[in-house]
Chains A and B, each alone.
Chain A
């Protein structure tokens, strides 16, 4: 996880639900590189073709509501979205995105200080999002240590992999004593 994340901004409205992020008809697609072609087809049609790695999504309230489909954050990760910042998130989306290692930040009032194409600067530990063009900024509450740990590991897969590996190591017999 980078301490400072900077990127070009795409803006989204409120209540962008998972049906609008990845529509039901694409749910049988597993390959994230295929999925990313259809991301935001309903909410932000030009995004899939024009987004670049490192771009930052800034949304209003209740981003990612609706289903538990992980397709939504997966498609964003495949595009290389640098961070998702919103006034508020729906619960499962928030969990899924963090589990996939996507910096996901809840900052009340953030949508109002950005326009499409601005540059956002996020201080992950400092707890601040700044619009580099206007200088406006919003503070956000510290990310809980547990979640920072997940982001630092690069997501849940890596975290569990480390845990299982250390369990295995602990379970295997100690090396014979050196004579």
Chain B
């Protein structure tokens, strides 16, 4: 293949070349890409108005559209009930069959992942910023606004500026009690919240190759906090094994060229790395967890949930640590699985009982306390330890409330002790 400047393409460039029908693309170029999958959650209700104003009559391909409500499920306010109704009506009028309504619901990104809606080589867009998570499938997955979604529904394509790519090359072995979440927090501490704005972040290296899909989801999920357009991991056997029984459409596995032109490469060795924590008020305000633990930071609330870390693996790990202990006095511990399917697994495996016996509240699957608009809202000056992805002022309620982001194991350890705790000290 002829390559401009003798430079190969990164994974993001490969996908954009595929979906735009170009042989070669370079960063900065604007391309029109054919969309493989479009996802809407409640914000999709704002897509309906522009869709009609555009004079659109039908959706380009109803089998490529997924609606998954998650922020307020079941509707917790009248406003949310109206949003849900707008979406139901729209789905009916435009014959959209793939609607994960109350009862099949879950956090939209988890719904896409566990049902095989996004596969390698896809261009996937969603009305939520953490759509980046699906980049773990080797797809270019990114968040867009509802007006843009209206154009996608009408035309089946959108314009994208080809992003430059930052490569994060990871080697080494995780120590006990150290997880993919700690890795992505550490990378965030280095890249910062603006370090990857408009860019693709591609994770490579032997450590990444050894990670399970759930761990890869956690990592790609938080590339949104780096400002990235997408976070990607090239597909391999783990990806294919995960997707083979569930893939909804044909895979186009792609990998970066050996001579891909990365804007920069950051090398990370996880050997000996401690657990990490993002302190108020920014996800890039990252410190080693043992340092923060030494300051005896008392918490009022603990949240194990969100699209970052509420998969069955996270809840199993949390339950194993919780078993036989109690939630500290004065602490509210909220556990919210990422989907109804995970809820059912927890029920069968006795995980719900483990948490409720300990004094936690186990909720139905939704975004829950993650975004300060549904439940588990913080009062001024309260402190919360959370397995989610954002800790900006006002994220979970009062703007003075302080949120610490950490791994599932660390939040459970914190719930037990009532102050920010290194999970390794529990074993």
Contact = CB atoms under 8 A, between A and B. Distances in A.
Contact of A161 (B45, B54, B193, B228): B54
Interface in B198-230: 198, 227-229
Contacts of A23: 372-373, 394
A100 B147 CA distance: 8
Interface in B15-66: 30, 42-43, 45-46, 50, 53-56
B193 A68 contact: no
Contacts of A62: 193-194, 197, 227
Given A62-B227, A157-B50, A24 B372 contact: yes
A42 interface: yes
Contact of B129 (A28, A29, A92): A92
Contact of A29 (B72, B79, B144, B161): B79
B129 A67 contact: yes
B77 interface: yes
Name the residue in B30, B129, B143, B150 with the highest tally of chain A Cβ atoms < 10 Å from its Cβ: B129
Interface size class of A (residues with CB under 8 A): 35 or more
A20 to B, nearest CB: 6
Contact of B282 (A15, A70, A160, A163): A15
B55 A165 contact: yes
Contact of B392 (A17, A61, A159, A163): A17
Interface string A47-80: 0000000000000011001111110011000000
Contacts of A92: 129, 143-145
Given A20-B392, A28-B72, A144-B30, A160 B154 contact: yes
A136 B399 CA distance: 35
B393 A91 contact: no
A19 B147 contact: no
A91 B229 contact: yes
Contacts of B147: 70, 96, 99-100, 155-157
Contacts of A19: 372, 390, 392-395
How extensive is the interface on chain B, given as a class?
35 or more
A44 interface: no
Contacts, number: 134
A8 interface: no
A68 B143 contact: yes
A16 B131 CA distance: 21
B157 to A, nearest CB: 11
A88 B392 contact: no
Interface in A118-173: 144, 146, 155-157, 159-161, 163-165
Interface string B63-83: 000000001100001011011
B371 interface: yes
Interface in B246-292: 282
B300 interface: no
By Cβ-Cβ distance, the 6 closest A-B pairs, closest first, are: A28-B79, A24-B373, A96-B145, A70-B145, A24-B372, A68-B143
Given A92-B129, A161-B53, 9 more contacts: A20-B394, A27-B71, A28-B80, A62-B197, A65-B227, A88-B197, A156-B151, A160-B154, A164-B56
Interface of A: 15, 17, 19-20, 23-25, 27-30, 42, 61-62, 65-70, 73-74, 88-92, 95-96, 99-100, 144, 146, 155-157, 159-161, 163-165
30 contacts: A15-B193, A19-B394, A23-B372, A27-B42, A27-B71, A27-B371, A28-B79, A28-B83, A29-B79, A30-B45, A42-B394, A62-B227, A66-B129, A67-B128, A68-B145, A74-B46, A88-B197, A91-B197, A91-B198, A91-B228, A92-B129, A92-B143, A95-B148, A96-B147, A99-B145, A99-B148, A146-B159, A156-B147, A157-B147, A159-B151
